Amino acid sequence: MSYDALQKMINESHKIVFFGGAGVSTESGIPDFRSTDGLYRQNYDYPPETILSRTFFDRNPKEFYRFYRSKMLVLDKQPNPAHLKLAQWEKEGRLIGVVTQNIDGLHQAAGSKRVFELHGSIHRNYCMRCRKFYTPEFIRDTDDPIPHCTCGGTIKPDVVLYEEGLDQEVLSGAVHVLSKADMLIVAGTSLTVYPAAGLVRYFNGKHLVLINRDPTPMDASCDLVIHDSVGKVLGSLA
């Protein structure tokens, strides 16, 4: 029933924007680092929020990279039906942008071009001294516990750490597509964390849809809410 309603909204929309959170990637087998498992506690002395802060990166890059390489630098995962459907819609001229809180690059891997990565990407890494770029494979494969540039500078992943601000260009690009959208699909996020809740306010189109496994505080203000996995829902659409 709700799938039919969703299909109908999509059929009459031409400027769809998708706003995705961690739940979109978990269906590709990428765990949300915030949901700490038992094994995690045996391996690290600090909570992930501490390790993934700028202060920690600057003071203890070796421990940062030990965590980053094992938990964040995921390079062997594939796009799921949600990523693929969004790329297809963009190709058909039905979707004008994907705004994501994920850093895994799976939307681009699926073929999406207009992706606004609010929290950066593991696929870009740069030398903090000379700005030379490095591939994620280099970060993974180098024997150096702290990846270093040929100039001697420390390499930092282009991901937004705690205490760091969002990239203003990415943010304004996201605001721009959201304000132009006629339909917004929010998925895989509880919308309680910054900047998700604030960004959704820029949408003033016709259909606001939320796809999330669990209820969120936003449920009541959406036109359609589907409590299911986003890959399953989008994968079943035409």
Where does this chain bind Zn ion (CB under 5 A)? 127, 129-130, 132, 149, 151, 153
Choose between 61 and 153: whose C-beta lies nearer to Zn ion: 153
Residue type, position 35, single letter: S
User: Angle at CA 32, nearest 5°, toward 100 and 183?
Assistant: 30
Q: E strands within 26-180?
A: 95-100, 115-117, 120-127, 133-134, 155-159
- Smallest distance from Zn ion to CB 132, Å: 5
Count each helix (H run) and each strand (E run) in the chain, helices first.
12, 9
Smallest distance, Zn ion to C-beta of residue 152, A: 7
Based on CB atoms, which residue is closest to Zn ion, 151 or 193? Answer: 151
Q: Rounded to the nearest whole angstrom, what is the least distance from the CB of residue 153 to Zn ion in the complex?
A: 4
Cβ proximity to Zn ion, 29 vs 145, nearer residue: 145
| CA 186/CA 171 separation, integer angstroms | 17
Residues 6 or more apart whose Cβ sits within 8 Å of residue 178? 17, 19, 97, 99, 184, 199, 200, 202, 203
Out of 14, 119, 176, 227, the active site residue is 119
For residue 128, the minimal CB distance to Zn ion (Å) is 8
Structure tokens at 139: 């970060």
Q: Is 119 an active-site residue?
A: yes
Q: Please identify every residue annotated as catalytic.
A: 119
